[in-house]
Amino acid sequence: MTVLPLPDISQFKLGALKFTVIKDGVSIIDKPWEVFGVNQKPETVQALLAENFLPTDRFVNSYSPVIIDTGSEVILVDTGFGAAMREKGGGRLAAGMKAAGYAPEQITRVLLTHLHGDHVGGLMEDGKPSFVNATYIAGRVEYDFWTDPARAGTPAEGNQKSVLANVVPLADKITFVNDGDAVIGGMTAMLAPGHTPGHMVFHIESEGQQIVLTADTANHYVLSLQQPDWDVRFDIDKAQASQTRRRIFDMIAKDRIPFLGYHMPFPAVGFVEKIDTGFRFVPKSYQYDF
């Protein structure tokens, strides 16, 4: 008998908001130096991993959509892979929602940080919207980039097909936002480009407490944070992505506020402090248990 593990979920309160982080799945990827620090020697990347007590030949990448329950709205930020990864053990958002006591029809709004497949794959199920009562928020720059016919025949074509299948059918329900726009009370969109041209982060404040949803600004808690200037294979504009990493995490470190990074080690929430080369990640423990 095949027994599926229970979905991984983590819940905490911040001000008047209830957060539920859901692990959509994980990927084990070989040769970290082919993803992070691609402008460095492989042994330089391996040395940094070893210094941080991590394997030098592979890494684990996790995916963490989050539900924000305001009391009047149930907001989902990013949607994971959806059905495309279920055979490989991913696409666990729906199961995680059920374990947390939420049904898809309860989602009132879906925020999309950017339009890569591991963030938008769960928008549709069997060709139909997964969240039938939801409206959507996406960055105008991001949507225009991925829907531009100029992407055809380029390395971006594969992801464009995902956008055409999962995002474009919902276009009439999407509110497009730009840098600095208010999403709802206490939530502000901030343009954080580089990973993709219209990549967004969201600054959230409730009852004097703050958190930043950094999405893919940094995709590894050591390699991208301790060395923010190292090039990352999946960043479309690598120089701009490095500048954005420093800008966003300088702000987070200065203000000593938590962040939720989509690919940080589950439950994906922590803090950063400045170090000589970049930032040190400090995972959340019991700060929000009281």
147-158 confidence digits (pLDDT tens): 999 999 999 999
* pLDDT at residue number 87: 86
* pLDDT at residue number 184: 87
Position with higher pLDDT, 2 vs 133: 133
* pLDDT at residue number 59: 97
What's the rounded mean pLDDT across residues 77-99? 93
289: left (phi over 0), alpha (psi -120 to 50) or beta: alpha
pTM of the model: 0.96
The span from the CA of 74 to the CA of 72, in Å, is 7
Q: Which CATH number fits domain 9-283: 1.10.10.60, 1.10.40.30, 3.60.15.10, 3.30.160.110?
A: 3.60.15.10
Per-domain boundaries in the chain: 9-283
* pLDDT at residue number 89: 87
- Straight-line distance from the first to the last Cα atom of the chain, in angstroms, rounded to the nearest whole number: 41
User: Partners of 272 in the beta sheet?
Assistant: 281
User: Is the preceding omega at residue 267 within 30 degrees of 0, hence cis?
Assistant: yes
pLDDT tens digit string along 242-274? 999 999 999 999 999 999 999 999 999 999 999
Q: Can you read off the two tokens belonging to residue 269? A: 């929430």
* pLDDT at residue number 289: 87
What's the rounded mean pLDDT across residues 86-90? 87
Contact partners, residue 124, CB within 8 Å, separation at least 6: 82, 130, 165, 166, 169
* pLDDT at residue number 48: 98
- Say if residue 3's pLDDT is above 80: no
| Calculated CA dihedral for residues 94, 99, 105, 110, nearest 10 degrees | -60
pLDDT tens digit string along 120-169? 999 999 999 999 999 999 999 999 999 999 999 999 999 999 999 999 99
